[in-house]
């Protein structure tokens, strides 16, 4: 794993890289790296959320409704 | 010199009454009209009435958290009712567990503690005994957390069992059909029915306040009335217009509020004397809406924001977006290192901010008047370790233009069921005798005054 000032290089298998390159064709992702960073960030923040989230999905739904009813959403 | 007269710590009692969204100018008008005899007596009794600045943005979650912690959003971490999950466009709803600075009741109660905010650093070693607090209905305290005393969360609390500490008060609250909040959705369908609910919700709130005030031991009692804010959102146009269908109901609500405050303050004075600490405050002001402003629609029309059809809320943001707005006037630059579809490099940041400021200042109503009063860069108004989470720019509108963060809208200007909007510059504080500020106070200044009372 190579390290620069604010980025690190992570190695992934070549066939997986090729496969991802094919998947992102025409999707708006500029590179496989951009796609991987996007997916990993999503997983990381969802994981953090699942661990720390003090609100249930049902509560979040009701909070959305309350905020909407007062014009905040 | 100490601000407050020396008393023994045992004698110290503070009553703090929050009246959500009550404007200083309206109270002055109603005092003049003779609608508020009890507040008039309080003000005539040595208490000064101040016009106060709210937090920026001027919404309850930010303002009440600023009041409670005595620090600004870059220290307590709450910038709005909504936020985006780091490095995504996913909407989240900050709650009490996201507040990064201790509230004054936990500093006074010696709960948690340590040097965890600038207010805590000033006072945590000086609080010599743990003071017991009752905190009732302060917004952004949900889910409820341990306090030395009792906490009943306010807006946006959902589940009563999670909105209380300790659990033992559940039975009482359930028994009186305690309502955390009136159902504001009803106002969209039936204003008459909503008004009835609002009065009934206020009645239950008063009952709970009086119960805990009388029946529980406490040193600090903080109670907030939310119903004023709800009344204003839907009926503020009736506040001054005597011929308005809802003027009588609006004034009746204020008379009831005045009576409630009068009764509570009389009991407080009777039990704890004239030297005890009394403060009344609102978290922001209100004014009538001329037009709602859909800031994202304006940014979209100006070519700064690109949206796709699918996705929820900010997940609609497309490639090429330079900036987007979140409620009420928070502007975020779509930086490459912050967002999945970021388009702006950090080194372009200053230039983009200037462009966005210029375009927002150019926003005029159909008569040619500017909509935006001022735009702050985050470093001009916030200071603290959480500055990086702050919006890049924050807009304060001219009175009457209600900035909305909604993404989908037909046009930049619009009107809806709401007739009142928040104001930053017109919150209210009725301060204890002897408390003065150099210049106009801000809601951030109040916790310091309360702490001083307990440590002098």
Give a yes or no: residue B253 inside a domain.
yes
Tokens linked to B116 = 């965890």
Residue numbers in A near B328 (CB within 8 A) = 72
Test B183 with A69 for CB contact under 8 angstroms: yes
Q: Are residues B224 and B352 in the same domain?
A: no
Test A45 with B159 for CB contact under 8 angstroms: no
Q: Are residues B337 and B450 in the same domain?
A: no
Pick the closest to residue B219 from B450, B428, B63, B429 (CA basis).
Answer: B450
Residue numbers in A near B306 (CB within 8 A) = none
- Domains contained in chain A, number: 1
A5 pLDDT above the threshold of 70: no
Which residue range is the domain that position A40 belongs to? 14-69
Give a yes or no: residue A1 inside a domain.
no
Q: Are residues B399 and B429 in the same domain?
A: no
| ipTM for this prediction | 0.94
Test B87 with A45 for CB contact under 8 angstroms: yes
Nearest-neighbour CA in chain B from A42: distance (Å): 7
Give a yes or no: residue A5 inside a domain.
no
- For range B268-285, the mean pLDDT: 96
Q: Is the minimum CB–CB distance between A72 and chain B shorter than 8 Å? A: yes
Q: Are residues B31 and B83 in the same domain?
A: yes
- B183 → chain A, closest CA residue: A66
Of A35-39, B12-16, B161-165, B405-409, where does mean pLDDT reach its minimum? A35-39
B6 pLDDT above the threshold of 70: no
Give a yes or no: residue B1 inside a domain.
no
Which residues make beta-bridge pairs with B150?
A: B134
Please answer whether residues B289 and B234 qualify as being in contact, where contact means their C-beta atoms are separated by less than 8 angstroms: no
Residue numbers in A near B88 (CB within 8 A) = 41-42, 45
- Domains contained in chain B, number: 2
A1 pLDDT above the threshold of 50: no
Q: Are residues B219 and B360 in the same domain?
A: no
Please answer whether residues B157 and B180 qualify as being in contact, where contact means their C-beta atoms are separated by less than 8 angstroms: yes
A8 pLDDT above the threshold of 90: no
Which residues make beta-bridge pairs with B393?
A: B331, B377
Which residues make beta-bridge pairs with B52?
A: B427
| pLDDT tens column, B83-124 | 999 999 999 999 999 999 999 999 999 998 667 899 999 998
Closest CB from A42, A55, A71 relative to B88: A42
pLDDT at B294: 98
Nearest-neighbour CA in chain A from B427: distance (Å): 19
Cα–Cα distance measured from residue B434 to residue B128, given in angstroms and rounded to the nearest whole number: 24
Closest CB from A42, A45, A63 relative to B156: A63
Q: Are residues B202 and B320 in the same domain?
A: no
Q: Which residue in the block uniquely carries the two structure tokens 């009752």?
A: B134
Q: Are residues B203 and B228 in the same domain?
A: yes
Cα–Cα distance measured from residue B75 to residue B100, given in angstroms and rounded to the nearest whole number: 7
Give a yes or no: residue A63 inside a domain.
yes
Q: Are residues B161 and B141 in the same domain?
A: yes
Closest CB from A45, A60, A73 relative to B88: A45
Give a yes or no: residue B391 inside a domain.
yes
B77 pLDDT above the threshold of 70: yes
| pLDDT tens column, B395-416 | 999 999 999 999 989 999 999 9
A51 pLDDT above the threshold of 70: no
Please answer whether residues B340 and B400 qualify as being in contact, where contact means their C-beta atoms are separated by less than 8 angstroms: no
Test B158 with A72 for CB contact under 8 angstroms: no
Give a yes or no: residue B233 inside a domain.
yes
Give a yes or no: residue B134 inside a domain.
yes
Which residues make beta-bridge pairs with B281?
A: B18, B429
Test A72 with B81 for CB contact under 8 angstroms: yes
Give a yes or no: residue A57 inside a domain.
yes
Q: A34 to each of A20, A37, A41, B296, how far by Cα in Å?
A: 11, 5, 11, 26
Residue numbers in A near B181 (CB within 8 A) = 66
Q: Between helices B191-215 and B227-235, what is the axis angle to 10°?
A: 160
pLDDT at B451: 97
Question: Average model confidence (pLDDT) for chain B?
Answer: 96
Q: Are residues B278 and B298 in the same domain?
A: no
pLDDT at B186: 97
Residue numbers in A near B230 (CB within 8 A) = 70
pLDDT at B120: 96
Test B143 with A54 for CB contact under 8 angstroms: yes
Q: Between helices B247-272 and B191-215, what is the axis angle to 10°?
A: 0
Q: Between helices B446-455 and B60-69, what is the axis angle to 10°?
A: 30
Q: Which residue in the block uniquely carries the two structure tokens 């400021």?
A: B357
Q: Which helix (H) or strand (E) holds B104?
A: helix B104-108
Cα–Cα distance measured from residue B343 to residue A30, given in angstroms and rounded to the nearest whole number: 12
Of A41-50, B234-243, B285-294, B348-357, where does mean pLDDT reach its minimum? A41-50
Closest CB from B86, B156, B402 relative to A66: B156
Give a yes or no: residue A8 inside a domain.
no
Tokens linked to A49 = 């959320």
Q: Are residues B442 and B401 in the same domain?
A: no
| pLDDT tens column, B155-211 | 999 999 999 999 999 999 999 999 999 999 999 999 999 999 999 999 999 999 999
B326 pLDDT above the threshold of 80: yes
Cα–Cα distance measured from residue B141 to residue B223, given in angstroms and rounded to the nearest whole number: 12
What percent of chain B stands above pLDDT 70?
97
For chain B, the C-alpha Rg in angstroms (whole number) is 22
Which residue range is the domain that position B359 belongs to? 291-414
Number of H helices, E strands in chain A: 3, 0
pLDDT at B431: 96
- What is B239-300 written as a DSSP string? SS-TTSTTHHHHHHHHHHHHHHHHHHHHHHHHHH-TTSEEEEE-SSEEEE-SEEEEHHHHHH
Q: Are residues B338 and B450 in the same domain?
A: no
Of A42-51, B343-352, B420-429, where does mean pLDDT reach its minimum? A42-51
- B188 → chain A, closest CA residue: A69
* DSSP category for residue B131: P
Q: What is the CATH number of the domain that holds B53?
A: 3.40.720.10
Cα–Cα distance measured from residue B344 to residue B321, given in angstroms and rounded to the nearest whole number: 9
Give a yes or no: residue B3 inside a domain.
no
pLDDT band at residue A60 under the 50/70/90 scheme: very high
pTM: 0.89
pLDDT at B3: 64
B7 pLDDT above the threshold of 70: no
């Amino acid at each position: 794993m190579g390290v620069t000032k604010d980025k690190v290089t992570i190695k992934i298998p070549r066939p997986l890289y090729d496969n991802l390159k094919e998947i992102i064709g025409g999707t708006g992702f500029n590179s496989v790296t951009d796609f991987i960073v996007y997916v990993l960030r999503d997983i990381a923040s969802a994981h953090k959320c699942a661990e720390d989230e003090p609100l249930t999905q049902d509560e979040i739904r009701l909070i959305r409704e309350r905020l909407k009813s007062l014009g905040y959403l | 010199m100490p601000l407050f007269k020396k008393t023994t710590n045992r004698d110290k009692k503070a009553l703090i009454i929050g009246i959500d969204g009550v404007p200083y100018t309206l109270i002055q008008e109603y005092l003049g009209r003779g609608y508020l005899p009890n507040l008039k007596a309080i003000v005539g009794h040595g208490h000064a009435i101040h016009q106060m600045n709210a937090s920026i943005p001027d919404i309850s979650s930010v303002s009440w958290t600023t009041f409670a912690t005595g620090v600004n959003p870059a220290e307590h971490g709450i910038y709005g009712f909504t936020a985006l999950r780091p490095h995504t466009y996913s909407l989240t709803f900050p709650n009490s567990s996201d507040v990064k600075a201790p509230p004054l009741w936990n500093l006074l109660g010696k709960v948690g503690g340590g040097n965890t905010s600038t207010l805590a650093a000033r006072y945590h070693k000086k609080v010599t005994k743990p003071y017991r607090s009752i905190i009732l209905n302060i917004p952004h305290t949900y889910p409820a957390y341990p306090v030395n005393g009792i906490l009943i969360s306010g807006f946006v609390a959902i589940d009563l069992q999670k909105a209380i500490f300790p659990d033992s008060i559940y039975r009482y609250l359930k028994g009186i059909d305690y309502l955390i909040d009136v159902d504001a959705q009803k106002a969209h369908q039936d204003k008459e029915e909503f008004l009835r609910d609002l009065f009934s919700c206020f009645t239950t709130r008063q009952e709970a306040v009086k119960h805990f005030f009388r029946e529980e031991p406490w040193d600090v009692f903080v109670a907030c009335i939310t119903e004023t804010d709800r009344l204003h959102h839907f009926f503020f146009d009736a506040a001054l217009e005597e011929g308005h269908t809802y003027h009588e109901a609006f004034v009746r609500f204020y008379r009831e509020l005045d009576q409630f405050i009068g009764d509570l303050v009389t009991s407080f004075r009777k039990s704890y004397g004239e030297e005890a600490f009394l403060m009344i405050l609102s978290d922001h002001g209100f004014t009538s809406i001329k037009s709602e402003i859909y800031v994202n629609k304006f940014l979209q029309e100006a070519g700064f924001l690109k949206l796709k059809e699918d996705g929820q809320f900010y997940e609609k943001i497309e490639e090429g977006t330079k900036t987007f707005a979140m409620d009420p006037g928070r502007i975020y630059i779509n930086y490459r290192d912050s967002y999945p579809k970021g388009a702006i490099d950090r080194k372009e940041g200053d230039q983009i901010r200037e462009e966005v400021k210029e375009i927002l200042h150019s926003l005029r109503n159909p008569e040619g008047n500017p909509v935006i009063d001022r735009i702050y860069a985050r470093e001009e108004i916030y200071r603290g370790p959480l500055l990086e989470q702050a919006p890049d720019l924050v807009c304060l509108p001219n009175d009457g233009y209600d900035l909305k963060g909604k993404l989908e809208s037909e046009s930049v200007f619009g009107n809806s069921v709401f007739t009142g909007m928040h104001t930053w510059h017109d919150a209210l504080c009725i301060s204890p005798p002897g408390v003065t500020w150099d210049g106009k106070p801000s809601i951030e200044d109040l916790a310091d005054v309360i702490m001083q009372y307990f440590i002098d």
